[in-house]
Amino acid sequence: MSKASAAEEQTVNVYGWAAKDSSGILSPFHFSRRVNGDNDITIKILYCGICHTDLVFVKDGSLMPTNYPFVPGHEIVGEVTNVGCNVTKFKIGDRAGVGAMVGSCGSCNNCKQDLENYCPKMLWTSVGEYYDDLRNFGGFSDKLVVDHHFAVLVPNNLPLAASAPLLCAGISVYSPMMHYGLSNAGQHLGVVGLGGLGHLAVKFAKALGMKVTVISTSPGKQKEAVEQLGVDDFLLSHDQDKLQAAMGTMDGILDTVSAPHSLLPLIELLKTDGKLILVGAPIKAPELPHIPLMLGRKIVGGSAVGGMKETQEMMDFAGKHNVTADVEVIAMEHINTAFERLAKGDVKYRFVIDVANMLI
């Protein structure tokens, strides 16, 4: 018997929604996951966020090839319903979360430093195959079996739906803020793009006592950003006068924009030694204006999600400071409309699917 068919004999039935082709239209889909192993937990998925990366994957796979049928979803929260005999961190009934990854080699230098997210053999939650050759399918589905190392505890005081986006959007901004030293009270942080990632960057930065300026293409977001998110300043990216006035004022900038755009105006906003950190993933690579970088000893860096230890730290920080996403909870049956609206930037600031009440 082949390895694949042996694995398929030991599976559980799962119901979810999948894109079947590059139209990106999602529809109901039945599939299998492995049975709960000694190191695994099974999660009854209650909510799953919709990340901009899901939108790219369902449509064209331009970040990496999409295998159809494709079940998106990597901002997963739910209730633990089974634990393997080697699992001590979780018990049945706990609130657990899973983000963008479900596996890594465990032995490379990155894994040894709690940087599983940079392991060359890292496995994405909804892409590729697991070690048993079963396909990985994401969280737009009723249950997930996952190695407990790749799950975190969700603090009990946080509302579950609004916590789901922390698992990807949250850690993707928290990790670079910590790593690049952009987390100190009194520092001035610019946040470019007020979407899922951007609004959580604002919330973490405000919880850390930072001054925050949002740089946005959307005038309609200004009032709420100031009055509800508490941003200190809001610059429209086409307002040359205000950009000019803000030149040289920021210690760092987190760029979360999903579309091609120029980096030059952002580099000009930085102080000497300032850091521009790219976390958005536009399909077209930006041009790098090196002379303005050299003349201010400025740095351009990047960052992708975060390691598991740091993801638990981020969840605990969020629990302590009540940081959650502003979400619009939708029924699974409205998923295709939600994707259309996300493509137009019509959401404040994250769609989250009410998976538990999905009609089966």
Binding site for ligand NAP (CB under 6 A): 51-53, 56, 168-169, 172, 193-198, 216-218, 221, 256-259, 261, 279-281, 303-305, 342, 345
CB of 37 to ligand NAP, least distance (A): 28
Nearer to ligand NAP, 256 or 324 (CB): 256
Nearer to ligand NAP, 145 or 277 (CB): 277
Nearer to ligand NAP, 29 or 351 (CB): 351
Nearer to ligand NAP, 42 or 258 (CB): 258
Q: What is the 3-state secondary structure (H, E, C) of the chain?
A: CCHHHHHHHCEEEEEEEEECCCCCCEEEEEEEEECCCCCEEEEEEEEEECCHHHHHHHHCCCCCCCCCCECCCCCEEEEEEEECCCCCCCCCCCEEEECCEEECCCCCHHHHCCCHHHCCCCEECCCCECCCCCECCCCCECEEEEEHHHCEECCCCCCHHHHHHHHCHHHHHHHHHHHCCCCCCCCEEEEECCCHHHHHHHHHHHHCCCEEEEEECCHHHHHHHHHCCCCCEEEECCCHHHHHHCCCCEEEEEECCCCCCCCHHHHHHEEEEEEEEECCCCCCCCCCCHHHHHHCCCEEEECCCCCHHHHHHHHHHHHHHCCCCCEEEECHHHHHHHHHHHHCCCCCCEEEEEHHHCCC
CB of 6 to ligand NAP, least distance (A): 35
Residue nearest to ligand NAP (CB): 195
CB of 174 to ligand NAP, least distance (A): 11
CB of 201 to ligand NAP, least distance (A): 9
Nearer to ligand NAP, 168 or 231 (CB): 168
Nearer to ligand NAP, 41 or 192 (CB): 192
CB of 121 to ligand NAP, least distance (A): 18
Residue among 113, 89, 112 at smallest CA distance from 40 = 89
CB of 165 to ligand NAP, least distance (A): 8
Nearer to ligand NAP, 110 or 303 (CB): 303
Q: What is the C-alpha separation between 34 and 307, in angstroms, rounded?
A: 24
CB of 76 to ligand NAP, least distance (A): 14
Nearer to ligand NAP, 43 or 235 (CB): 235
CB of 12 to ligand NAP, least distance (A): 28
Residue among 295, 206, 287 at smallest CA distance from 247 = 295
